[in-house]
Amino acid sequence: MAELPVLQKKIKKRNWKKILFYGLAILIILCLGAFFFINNFINKSLPQIEGTIELPLLEDEVTVVTDGSGVPHIKAKNDHDLFVAQGYMQAQNRMFQMELSRRQASGTLSEVVGDATVEQDKYFRALGLRRAAEKSYDSYSDDAKQVLEWFAEGINAYIDEATNNNSLPVEFLLMGVTPQKWTPIDSLTIGKYMAFDLGGHWERQAFNYYALNHFSEEKAYELFPHYPKSRSTILQEDEVDIAANLAHAVIPHSFNGSNNWVVSGKKTKNGLPLLADDPHLGLATPSIWLQMHLETDEMNVSGVIFAGVPGIILGHNDKIAWGVTNTGPDVQQLYLEKRNPDNEQEFLFEDKWEKAAVIDEPIKVKDGETIEYQVVETRHGPVVSEFAKESGKDVVLSLRWTALDPTTELEAILDINRAENWAEFEKGLEKFLVPAQNFVFAAKDGTIAYKANGRIPIYENGDDALLPLPGWEAKYEWKDFIPYDKLPRVVNPEKGFIATANNKVAGENYPYHISNVWAQPYRYERIEEVLASRDDLTAEDMKAFQMDTMNLRAREFVPIFSDILSEAKLGDIEKQALAELEKWDFKDEANASQPLIFHHWFDEIEAILYDEIPDTMMKLFGSRGQTTDELLRKAASGEGSEWIDENGGLEQVLGQSLERTVVKLKEEYGEDVTAWKWGEYHKVQFTHPLSGINPILAYFFNHEKPMPVGGSDVTPMAASYNKETGEVDHGASWRFVIDLNNSDVGYHIVGPGQEGHFKSKWYHDQMDDWVEGTYHETKLSDVKGKKLLLTPAKK
């Protein structure tokens, strides 16, 4: 009997082991079940790329072949089915991106995000992109409206199907939102957002106004934009289209801009034109671009489009190819308004009080109260004073902007998709009004051409576009726009190529003002340098050149800085850094130390020069690199600069900024200057908009770790970056090259990939390609891949 307690203990121990074993087994089963349930739920929202889907909307069967790079090739028997299918396939790939895009442009993000985006929503409600889209819709032809309706029907077919099947992308679950019906206005609003993203300078006008009110005239005017004299422009005198009475052309961008060029057959190995285009926009997941191929008996076009918009905006068909960069003309004008002290809704014009429009724009806020917000619109446009920081503190500023007028860009896209030659293409461009873009064109018939296309207001005096104008005087009103046949244009130039990179285009002989603010000339001058030097160019050369990291800003300034500091008293590490720069080949390569030193040095120069300017106003000081360059040139030539002289002169500024640079870099990367690497700081990741919520979402949505990458904001391989973190967040959102000797094939990179679903193999598969310059081929015919049939309802 004495053994009974021992036996009982053993039994209890065994029971506890069994309980623990079964408990763990149950837990594992539950975890596995949860994993498989979640995995299955997430996988339900993966796009279907093979098999059959019934779409009762269709009139005939549509074939969608998804190739090895995730590009859908849609072939339909009629336009109705083509655009229904395009809407459906876009929604399958990018519905969450489309939802965020229409909300951001419409100013309704706070409905799903909360109070964090209220100020952003106020800004977009004030601008009124959606109101402008609604006005534009009435300007479209019945045919174009029909395309918009068909496209929206395809999107809504997906929304209904995914909602009913509980297969919406997981982001909708995380945000706690279900997408509402898509409308044609949503597509047009996204189009207006791209005009916002690509073209504006009112912030610089506000900054100039601030500068004049806070600094001496001499100091303020030194900050005003000046393009360096005797630097290259896009069009040369011998390239002028005599019929259009032109002499030059233009291209700017407040941030990074874009590159494109076209080469005639006399400079190519095979005797037919080459075209290259890489528009520079924000870099994120998903890509801002969606690559697609659309085919009917009457159209066969391939390229990229913004998710939520029908057609193909950039690319090629079997006869022609085209690409764009941002012209960046002065299409935004701030006006100072005099408000009636007895009626705040009235403003003075020609000695009379005019009643402004007051528009209610209530902002719904998730988990919060609706904010009653009103937009005031004068005869010029919305009042934006609250967004002009100190410039708008004591005045009323309204904004006149071409993109807020009714415009018809989609109509132009549909026309140029079908064009077969330059005459038809240029005719289609008449309807492309905003944003003003530099189109380059090539055709199988050997034609190459260029046009700075869009609605550009006529200024009698270009200086008027530098500052806000008196809104109460009629003489400052926009009177008209540059006539279409007078826009900068050239066809088949003698030199055999045309290139644009947001630099100044039109010279002194051009009769109209286009812009005061241009991109720095370095990218264009490098492109011109390379294209002028070769007469045997190939598509492979074009692809390699889009990855060119030559920094002409460094090539200009490093010798100047070195000479000025040659007798200066420098510390050992500063001398080492300067010695590294002196032996540099001026390429911004990821594994080189010199780009890290050079770009940080310029950042420190600006920190010293502009120390008096508050951070809020620095954000409005767009394209200040151009200003900094001019201040340095003036000082180096002996002309002097108030901003540099007040900081002890050029030698003092350069020495102090170099010291700051090496102290900062030494702390971050160690004392061995030769071991520093640009790519340890300059990295790209393509982040998802929800990845910042917590690290778990970042792990799933961002996939790859940040990758070292070469280039910068002044090299042809454009890779602009956040100065605080080094994250590359703006650059070549799409790279495209085509040889018109074989217009069936285009070469593409869409970073970071085609798909918006984080479990798709095409989600981030082009990240390495983007960094390394590895292109994929997309064909117009004989396409191989996964086949999906979209079928009409069974009769």
467-501 pLDDT, tens digit per residue, is: 999 999 999 999 999 999 999 999 999 999 999 99
For the ranges 225-229, 441-445, 549-553, 667-671, the lowest mean pLDDT is seen at 225-229
Residue 9 confidence (pLDDT): 56
**Reported confidence tier of residue 238, pLDDT bands at 50, 70, 90:** very low
Confidence of residue 14 (pLDDT cuts 50, 70, 90): low
Q: Bigger pLDDT: 427 or 254?
A: 427
On average, the pLDDT of the chain sits at 91
**Binding site residue list:** 330
Q: Which pLDDT band holds residue 244 (cuts at 50, 70, 90)?
A: very low
Task: Note the pLDDT of residue 343.
Answer: 95
**Neighbouring C-alpha atoms within 13 Å toward the C-beta of 262:** 28
Nearest to 518 by CA among 611, 635, 449, 438: 438
Q: If DSSP codes are grouped into helix, strand and coil, which group holds residue 777? A: strand
Say how far apart CA 774 and CA 770 lie, in whole Å. 7
Confidence class of residue 18 from pLDDT cuts 50, 70 and 90? low
The arithmetic mean of pLDDT across residues 431-440, rounded, is 96
470 membership: H or E segment, kind and range = strand 469-470
Q: What is the mean pLDDT of residues 76-80?
A: 98
Assign 197 a pLDDT band (cuts: 50, 70, 90).
confident
- pLDDT band for 251, please (50, 70, 90 cuts): very low
Q: What pLDDT shows up at residue 505?
A: 79
How much is the pLDDT for 35?
A: 47
Give the DSSP letter string of 47-103: PP-SEEEE-TT-SS-EEEEE-TTS-EEEE-SSHHHHHHHHHHHHHHHHHHHHHHHHH
Instruction: Give CA–CA dist 524/528, Å, rounded.
Output: 6
Residue ranges of the domains in the chain? 552-586+593-676
- Give the start-end residues of each E strand in 219-360: 259-263, 274-278, 280-282, 289-295, 300-306, 314-317, 320-326, 332-337, 339-340, 343-349, 352-355, 357-360
Residue 4 pLDDT level (bands cut at 50, 70, 90): low
Asked whether the beta carbons of 95 and 168 are under 8 A apart, the reply is: yes
Secondary structure class of 735 (helix, strand, coil): strand
Q: What is the pLDDT of residue 245?
A: 25
Return the pLDDT at 389: 77
**Distance from the Cα of residue 682 to its chain's centroid:** 19
277-327 confidence digits (pLDDT tens): 999 999 999 999 999 999 999 999 999 999 999 999 999 999 999 999 999
Per the annotation, binding residues for Ca(2+) are 330
537 C-beta neighbours (distance < 10 Å), count = 21
pLDDT recorded at residue 247: 22
Q: Tokens standing for 673?
A: 């200057």
Q: What integer pLDDT is reported at residue 216 of this predicted model?
A: 95
Distances (CA, A) of 455 to 273, 432, 555: 29, 8, 37
Q: How far apart are CA 738 and CA 745, in angstroms?
A: 7
Peptide bond into 435 cis (omega under 30): yes
Q: Residues with catalytic annotation? A: 258
Q: CB–CB of 188/148 below 8 Å?
A: yes
Share of the chain above pLDDT 90, in %: 83
- Between CA 558 and CA 556 the distance in angstroms is 6
**Nearest Cα residue to 381 out of 401, 366, 408:** 401
For 352-401, where are the alpha helices, taking DSSP H only? Answer: none
Both structure tokens of 481: 């726009």
Residue 320 confidence (pLDDT): 98
Confidence of residue 230 (pLDDT cuts 50, 70, 90): low
Residue 216 tokens read as 């001496």
Listing DSSP states for 637-671 in one string gives: TT---HHHHTTT-HHHHHHHHHHHHHHHHHHHH-S
Whether the predicted pLDDT of 212 surpasses 70: yes
Q: Is the pLDDT of residue 508 over 90?
A: no
| Stretch among 31-35, 118-122, 480-484, 695-699 having the lowest mean pLDDT | 31-35
Convert the pLDDT of each residue in 358-390 to its tens digit: 999 999 999 999 999 999 999 999 999 999 877
pLDDT at 759: 94
Q: How far apart are CA 271 and CA 289, in angstroms?
A: 31
Rg of the chain in Å (alpha carbons): 29
**Which of 1-10, 285-294, 407-416 shows the lowest per-residue confidence on average (mean pLDDT)?**
1-10
- pLDDT exceeds cutoff 90 at 226: no
User: With 90 as the cut, is the pLDDT of residue 671 above it?
Assistant: yes
